[in-house]
Amino acid sequence: MSSTVWRVLSEVYASLKGMLRYKETLFWVIIFPLLWYGLMAAIWSNPSPPTIKVGVYNADQLQGPYNISEALIKAMNSTGFMKPIPFHNATSLREAVLHGKVDVGLIVPGNFTESLMEGSSATLKLLSVKESWGNFAYSIASSFIESFSNEFRRRVINVSISYIVTYFNSTQLGGAYPNWTYYAIRWLRFISDPIRVNASVYTPPLLATKGGLRAYYALSMIGVEALFVGLFTGALSVNEKRRDGTLTVLLASPMRDWELFTSETLAALASVGVSAAAVAAMSIATGAKYVVNTESLLLAVAFLLLGTLFTIGLGVILAALAKTPEGASALVNAIAFPVMFIGGIVIPYYVLPGYLKAFARYWPLSRFVIASRSVLLGLMSSSDAASFSIPAIIATIATYLVGVAIFKKLLARALEYH
Amino acid sequence: MSGSPPLVEAYDLEKVYPDGTVAVRGVSFRAGRGLTIFMGPNGSGKTTTLSITAGALRPTSGRVLVCGYDVWGRDWSRPRSCIGYAPQAMPFREKLSVIENLTWYGLIRGLPPWESRRRARWLLEQLGLEGLERKKVSELSGGQRRRLTIAASLIGDPEVLILDEPTSGLDPKARASLWSLLRRVAGDKAIIASTHIPDEAEGADYVYIFHRGRVVAEGAPGELIGRYVRYSRVIVKGSGLEVAPTMEWARLVEAGWDRAVYVTEDPEEALPRLVERLLKLGARIERVEVRKPGLAEVFLAVTGEAPEGGA
């Protein structure tokens, strides 16, 4: 191999050797993403919805097989996402709601079953605290009660229909108006079920499973590494080497400027690669599931490498704004930390507010992370993911080239004075 | 320059910094195989000239040819492949061990890793650093670090070695030992080194004396001494020497209670007469030293200023 190859690989050698020898580097490249992955997977990789605690004070007087309040509470318990908790009086229930011991409170009045049996409307009382989770719990509980009420109405109407069929047709009136029964039943059926749902149940997509969510967060962590490693590499590529004197010997070596920049780039890619391998291995060991075939794997790797190239280019642009390595590091942190959360990398794109979605949509690294997730979780075909990434690829090429130009300028400046 | 054909030629180098500071002006030199030393006090332009020659600092004007290639021409790699450069504070990567640092230096010079490692081991052995391969550079002593610096500059087997103050921070014994080690390991390479200590420069094949950004004298050490200094220094130590007078055959340059310094062209003749005269004047003499002229005296003669680290 020519000497150019060894010169270009020099930084990869130093970086990988340093990583093994230096605990701090080992922490940031391997331990930090593994910790983050573990944390995110533990918190967010449960696909079942959260349980809503419903405190119930049931004052219904009528006991026995026709007690409708008991049926309501039983149905609530059978949903799996609502847990009724009995209370002995309305006051203690109100206190429990106010102190967050239950998410929502339900008071069943004394004449509840009696009213319904007599054909009169009955009123239930729902208690909740006006805040986001309380509002959510209230919506779920009231929707459930509405569904129960609809089911109750449907059953009452069905009983009415059977009465009409059995008794009305046999009367004189029924003989005189033979079509009346047909229309009355049709009307009642409409009232009982104005809108019907024809459900088709499919096998859930990978993302809706625990394994899929773990894979999702593993790819997020690789994205975070690409963000930080790339930005720091770019931002410190000249500043830090100038400070510690390494740049002087590099400038006096046969390395050309493009060899130096390629060497830095390869070292960053190697770091991200090591990090990605560690996270991927841990995610598979903890049950993450990927759609793995040669095409999806190659595309995902290519997307993440492109994402790193983008951040390296951006890092060098930041280096031009800072006079010292400390200044460059501060700039990188000021950008990387918010972007990690608002750029759709750690926090899923679809839960971001609209204005941040717009940013995440056009931030090239996010686009690459979304594309790599999409191919490895089977959410997009390879060609769709590639088309989705085209704007990010264009932005990456432009940013990297600007980075190269700035790097050359910084080297030229370093050659002018020590 | 030394007798061999030049491997390094520099013409009319000038370096003016953006703030207007002139670091060097009109510096020309040539260096062939053997040891060429740039001698001068700190701030005289030695480091700037070495940096320009090594290709680490762009000159404002002038030209440097190394192994026949223009260091600042279009072909960047060729002249630099010919150079092994060690700045005064050689940067070593703290995260890497001694052998890994040398391997890295080999890689940046284009050597394959196995060749870098082989050569690193050989150099460590030659420089008396065997057994330290796995140590961190921060764990080495000052002298070991200096020897490692020489190893790093030699790893690519360059024809030209450029060393900025290679003995800086070492005691006189260690300095002498390092120079002889360097001569032995470097073989017949062209070595250009800087020092501010005249005694060290006396071991060179050729010397350039720097003063205020210019070369003020050049030549082989003996030739320089012969050209610029014709006197010896006589140092008298004792007490009551403040009475020492200037005499026709020995000029007084310094007089104090316990020390008097004379310069004379003929110390053998002057010494007995000088002692006799001082004793007559009531001075008490404990010791008399005759110092032959060296590069410190050359520097004094050329610049009118005493050199740093001179006798």
Instruction: Look up residue A342 and give its amino acid.
Output: I
How many domains, chain B? 2
pLDDT > 90 in chain A, percent: 44
Residue B193 tokens, joined: 């080194």
B68 assigned to some structural domain: yes
Per the DSSP assignment, residues forming a β-bridge with B216 are none
Q: What is the mean pLDDT of residues A67-96?
A: 92
Residue A24 tokens, joined: 């701090």
The predicted structure's pLDDT at residue A175: 67
B100–chain A Cβ distance below 8 A for any pair: yes
The predicted structure's pLDDT at residue A347: 81
Nearest CA in chain B to A251: B56
Let me know whether B160 and B258 are in one domain.
Answer: no
pLDDT at A94 over 60: yes
For B280, phi then psi, to 5°, come to -65, -35
Per the DSSP assignment, residues forming a β-bridge with B15 are B24
DSSP letter string, A311-350: HHHHHHHHHHH-SSHHHHHHHHHHHHHHHHHHTSSSS-GG
B209, B227, B245 - which closes a domain: B227
Q: How far apart are CA B101 and CA B99, in angstroms?
A: 5
Nearest CA in chain A to B95: A18
Nearest CA in chain B to A244: B91
B306 assigned to some structural domain: no
Let me know whether B87 and B195 are in one domain.
Answer: yes
Q: How far apart are CA A90 and CA A67, in angstroms?
A: 20
pLDDT at A110 over 60: yes
For B64, phi then psi, to 5°, come to -125, 125
CB-nearest to B55 from A4, A17, A252 is: A252
Let me know whether B203 and B235 are in one domain.
Answer: no
3-class DSSP assignment, residue B64: strand
B311 assigned to some structural domain: no
Let me know whether B241 and B202 are in one domain.
Answer: no
pLDDT tens-digit map of B68-85: 999 999 898 999 999 999
B140 assigned to some structural domain: yes
Q: How far is B299 from chain A (nearest CA, A)?
A: 28
B305 assigned to some structural domain: no
**Binary contact (B113, A6; C-beta < 8 A):** yes
Q: Between A206 and B100, where is the model more confident? A: B100
Let me know whether B205 and B249 are in one domain.
Answer: no
Q: What is the mean pLDDT of residues A248-267?
A: 93
3-class DSSP assignment, residue B261: strand
3-class DSSP assignment, residue A232: helix
B184, B202, B227 - which closes a domain: B227
pLDDT at A47 over 70: no
**Binary contact (A252, B113; C-beta < 8 A):** no
The DSSP 8-state label assigned to residue A168 in this structure reads I
The predicted structure's pLDDT at residue B67: 93
The residues near A31 (Cβ < 8 Å, ≥ 6 apart) are none
**Cα dihedral A253/A254/A259/A260 (nearest 10):** 10
Q: A1-7 long-range contacts, Cβ below 8 Å, gap at least 24?
A: A1/B112, A2/B110, A3/A254, A3/B109, A3/B110, A3/B111, A4/A259, A4/B110, A6/B107, A6/B110, A6/B111, A6/B112, A6/B113, A7/A253, A7/A254, A7/A255, A7/A259, A7/A263, A7/B107, A7/B108, A7/B109, A7/B110
For domain A52-192, the CATH class is: alpha beta
**Binary contact (A249, B91; C-beta < 8 A):** yes
pLDDT > 70 in chain A, percent: 94
Let me know whether B220 and B237 are in one domain.
Answer: no
The residues near B53 (Cβ < 8 Å, ≥ 6 apart) are B8, B10, B64, B66, B71, B83, B162, B192
pLDDT at A35 over 60: yes
The residues near B16 (Cβ < 8 Å, ≥ 6 apart) are B22, B23, B60
B80–chain A Cβ distance below 8 A for any pair: yes
Segments of chain A assigned to CATH 3.40.1710: 52-192
B3 assigned to some structural domain: no
B110 near A6, Cβ under 8 Å?
A: yes
Between residues 186 and 245 of chain B, which touch chain A (CB distance below 8 Å)? none
Q: How far is A247 from chain B (nearest CA, A)?
A: 9
pLDDT at A72 over 70: yes
At B235, which CATH number?
A: 3.30.70
Q: What is the mean pLDDT of residues A73-81?
A: 90
Let me know whether B128 and B221 are in one domain.
Answer: yes
- For chain A, give the mean pLDDT: 87
At B156, which CATH number?
A: 3.40.50.300
**Binary contact (B110, A7; C-beta < 8 A):** yes
The predicted structure's pLDDT at residue B60: 96
The predicted structure's pLDDT at residue A165: 77
Q: Where are the alpha helices (DSSP H) in A237-324?
A: 239-244, 246-251, 257-285, 294-321
- Please report where in the chains the tokens 């032959």 appear, as a residue: B292
State the angle between helix axes of A325-342 and A294-321 in degrees (0 to 180), rounded to the nearest 10.
140
Confidence of residue A346 (pLDDT cuts 50, 70, 90): confident
pLDDT at A177 over 80: no
Let me know whether B132 and B190 are in one domain.
Answer: yes
Let me know whether B191 and B264 are in one domain.
Answer: no
Between residues 256 and 285 of chain B, which touch chain A (CB distance below 8 Å)? none
Confidence of residue A226 (pLDDT cuts 50, 70, 90): very high
B304 assigned to some structural domain: no
Cβ-based burial of A29 (10 A; exposed 0-12, middle 13-18, buried ≥19)? buried
Q: How far is CA A177 from CA A170, A172, A188, A250, B49, in A?
A: 11, 9, 17, 104, 119
Let me know whether B153 and B235 are in one domain.
Answer: no
For chain B, 311 residues long, give each residue's pLDDT as a single digit of tens: 555 678 999 999 999 998 889 999 999 999 999 999 999 998 999 999 999 999 999 999 999 999 999 999 989 899 999 999 999 988 998 888 999 999 999 999 999 999 999 999 999 998 889 899 999 999 999 889 999 999 999 999 999 999 999 988 888 888 888 888 888 887 789 999 999 988 889 889 999 999 999 999 999 998 998 888 888 888 999 999 988 888 888 888 888 899 998 888 888 888 888 999 999 999 999 999 888 888 888 888 888 776 765 54
How many residue contacts between A and B have a Cβ separation below 8 Å? 98
Q: How far apart are CA A256 and CA A4, in angstroms?
A: 9
pLDDT tens-digit map of A7-28: 999 999 998 888 877 778 788 8
Let me know whether B54 and B170 are in one domain.
Answer: yes
Let me know whether B203 and B138 are in one domain.
Answer: yes
The predicted structure's pLDDT at residue A28: 83
The predicted structure's pLDDT at residue B311: 43
B298 assigned to some structural domain: no
List the domain range (segments joined by +) for residue B271. Answer: 231-292
Q: Between A312 and B300, where is the model more confident? A: A312
